[in-house]
Amino acid sequence: MGDIKKAILFINLQKVNAKALADEITEALERKNSEVRSCTFESWSGLETKDEYDIAFSLGGDGTVLYAARAMAPARVPIFPINLGTLGFIAAVPPDAWAAVYDRWAAGRVGCSRRLMLEVRVERRGRTVTQGSCLNDAVISASGIAKVIRLHVESDYMRLGEYRSDGLIVATPTGSTAYSVSAGGPILDPELEAIIINPICPFTLSNRPIVIPAREVLFVEVEAEQRSGVLLTLDGQITEPLEPGDRIYIRQAPYEARLIASDRSMFYKALRTKLSWSGGPNA
């Protein structure tokens, strides 16, 4: 991998020992002549030149990885996801093993898992009013409790029709194990290139989750006569209010999240552990 000239640490200070581990990583990298910067969710301004970083460390749980991915993936900066929470589907590196994994990655013996991300743009009366990206999912839902919303959904290849439901989840394969699976969606291999369209508590039981190729562009329109409030939420962390008639464009991002040491084997290990899967005896 060559020398790491500049690194950034995204730290979730709500996690026990996060600050102590950040200090340990900073000291270790600086001994190797790397410049290190630390930030939290609140202190990251997004104004920095992202492509000047060689690596981004995520110190927290899966939520911290999602935040780091949205910040750094557009600049193709690889993310080193250290898990300071319970066993996560994305954050895979144990804190006591970070140095060994880092050295193996720097020597080219550990690869990156490349994960599809989504670009989301909201158009209102012909003008773009907001745009962003997500690694897990984009969710369009009612802003109140138990309010059915009406959405028109189609892609550039097909018309899926009108959805009357509590909302709609558009998830990546990485996000298939998040909100989508709780709403009855399928679990996808994290390195597939596909998009899940999953209605939340649909009024019509025949509305089922569907998986489409990632190359398709998805269009979701909030019905013009919609009365209850509607929200767009990205990765469960960014929320934007929508208005009747708004048109949401969702497509595969032109970049991927590069997650160090979070390969498919770690994903399936997390699946077996979290879902209590049991198999037959090893051959």
User: Look-up: residue for tokens 């509590």?
Assistant: 166
Tell me how many domains the chain contains: 2
66: which residues sit within 8 A by CB, 6+ positions away? 90, 134, 135, 136, 235, 236, 237
Does residue 58 surpass a pLDDT of 80? Answer: yes
pLDDT value for 87: 67
- Both 123 and 23 in one domain: the answer is no
CA–CA distance, 142 with 227 (Å, rounded to integer): 10
pLDDT value for 144: 73
- Both 43 and 102 in one domain: the answer is yes
Residue 279 lies in a domain: no
Residues counted in the chain: 283
Residues known to be catalytic: 62
Band of pLDDT at residue 63, cut at 50, 70 and 90:
very high
Band of pLDDT at residue 46, cut at 50, 70 and 90:
low
142: which residues sit within 8 A by CB, 6+ positions away? 148, 149, 166, 167, 228, 229, 230, 231
Residue 283 lies in a domain: no
Average pLDDT over residues 227-253: 95
Query: 219: closest CA among 242, 253, 247?
Result: 247
Q: Write out the residue range of the structural domain in which residue 78 sits.
A: 6-111+261-274
CA–CA distance, 108 with 194 (Å, rounded to integer): 29
The alpha carbon dihedral of 83, 85, 86, 89 has a sign of negative
- Write out pLDDT tens, residues 13-29: 999 899 999 999 999 99
Band of pLDDT at residue 281, cut at 50, 70 and 90:
very low
- Both 86 and 22 in one domain: the answer is yes
Element (H, E) at 29: helix 18-31
- Write out pLDDT tens, residues 83-141: 998 767 898 899 999 999 999 999 989 989 999 999 999 999 999 999 999 999 999 99
- Both 175 and 124 in one domain: the answer is yes
Does residue 283 surpass a pLDDT of 70? Answer: no
- Both 168 and 265 in one domain: the answer is no
**Model-level pTM greater than 0.95?**
no
Residue 65 lies in a domain: yes
Least confident of 198-202, 204-208, 214-218, 253-257: 204-208
- Both 100 and 127 in one domain: the answer is no
- Both 129 and 233 in one domain: the answer is yes
- Both 156 and 188 in one domain: the answer is yes
67: which residues sit within 8 A by CB, 6+ positions away? 10, 41, 44, 58, 235, 237
Band of pLDDT at residue 146, cut at 50, 70 and 90:
low
pLDDT value for 263: 78
pLDDT value for 266: 79
3-state SS, residue 197: strand
Residue 41 lies in a domain: yes
- Write out pLDDT tens, residues 70-96: 999 999 999 999 999 876 789 889 999
Residue 281 lies in a domain: no
Average pLDDT over residues 198-210: 87
Greatest Cα-to-Cα distance within the chain, rounded to the nearest angstrom? 62
What is the overall mean pLDDT for the chain? Answer: 90
pLDDT value for 124: 96
3-state SS, residue 205: coil
